[in-house]
Amino acid sequence: MTSVISGGAPQDLIAYAWFVMGFRPRESVVVVGLSGDGLTSGLVARLDLPAERHAARAAVMFAEMLERTGDDACLVLVTSDAAGDAPLLDGDGAMPHDGLAMRLGAALAAAGVHVVDALLVGTSTYRSYLCEDDGCCPPTGRPLTDVTGSRVAAAMVLEGRCVLDDEQDLVADVDPGAAAARGEPVLVLPKGRPGRGRRRAAFLRWCADLDADAQEPTRADDLLAALTADRDLRDAVLFSLVPGGRTTALQLLEGRRPGPLGPDRDIRPQGPLVRVGDRLLACLARRAPAGSRAEPLAALAWLAWWSGDAVRGRLLADRALQDVPGHRLAGLVHALLEGSVPPPWTDVAQPAARPRPRAAAAVSTGAPDGGPGPASG
């Protein structure tokens, strides 16, 4: 569960955005959703830095996402290295991308979203586009050490969160290149479709690996073959990572359909269980041959969404769809994230004061000039 901020200072909200996304964005527009009289933080959405002429379209995308998550205000962050080490405010009173920031703010306001501030975040400093007080916002900007040393950054670190240099680092564990660097050979799938007995044996070995906190799956080739051949086994693997889900998983493997809800999904994810399952599935994904990576990647995407890690979930779902276009589970996860749909266990908390999970974060890698729009992730 990601900490929320109520009435946070700019450095706190910048830190919140970085830690929710898990990486420090570059050449991007980031919107931090805020709601209520206390301006409680919520959605975090990112878009590649668009051309100024596309500011209105970007604002509509952001406004739609903010409406879905119940945020009626926002902070706009323009992150760019354009100024380099020069003062963010030049001698003519201009700042990099100030036209984009102003147009974006105006379009968001026209869409009914109150923009509390718009900030330029540079290589080592940040400054408000809206503040004209040099005492508050000097021309050189305020140091980003204010962000890394903020109370929110400290709280996030205590939660075990970190900020990576690039979003691709969030999925480095499924990179086939990482497998080669570790000396892990590409898996060779056994010939023929594994029968029910082999599939059940693969699942029982999977459960034993979970219990043993294994570093890699036992007989990974058999497990990958079973995942690829049998959707029920893949679902059983996912159920095994949900508290109380193994009974449902075994029902699936025995050909009995579980109830509509399966295991008790109102229980929060169990960190140790999720971490082991994530590690084992990531091992399969990076070692799987092309065309067979989609199942473990899609399972990892679902696990990321269910754990509230929308950014990683979006990246994993995208990779699964690249491996097998139209993959159903990957497409489902992508749709859940695009709609900012939180995992079901988050609905248990009291709705009036419920902190928002990291699943509310949304990320897009495309600009609004014909590329893909913002997608939760």
- Same structural domain, 247 and 357: no
In a domain, 37, yes or no: yes
Q: What is the mean pLDDT of residues 12-19?
A: 90
Closest to 285 in 3D by CA, of 303, 306, 273, 300: 300
Burial class (CB in 10 A: 0-12, 13-18, 19+), 291: exposed
- Same structural domain, 178 and 254: yes
- Same structural domain, 127 and 219: no
At 5 the pLDDT is 55
- Same structural domain, 154 and 20: yes
Q: What's the domain range around 79? A: 10-165+353-376
- Same structural domain, 269 and 131: no
- Same structural domain, 146 and 222: no
Q: What is the pLDDT of residues 109-161, one digit of tens each?
A: 999 999 999 999 998 999 999 988 888 888 888 999 999 898 888 888 887 77
- Same structural domain, 304 and 363: no
- Same structural domain, 122 and 231: no
- pLDDT at position 252 over 80: yes
- Same structural domain, 117 and 201: no
- Same structural domain, 176 and 298: yes
In a domain, 329, yes or no: no
Q: What is the pLDDT of residues 74-102, one digit of tens each?
A: 999 999 988 777 778 777 778 999 999 99
- Same structural domain, 129 and 221: no
In a domain, 320, yes or no: no
- Same structural domain, 276 and 138: no
Rounded Cα distance, 335 and 302, in Å: 11
In a domain, 65, yes or no: yes
Last residue within a domain, chosen from 250, 275, 309: 309
User: CA angle 175-227-262, nearest 5°?
Assistant: 115
Burial class (CB in 10 A: 0-12, 13-18, 19+), 168: exposed
Q: pLDDT category, 295, cuts 50, 70, 90? A: very high
**Domain count within the chain:** 2
Burial class (CB in 10 A: 0-12, 13-18, 19+), 84: exposed
Q: Which amino acid is at 206?
A: W
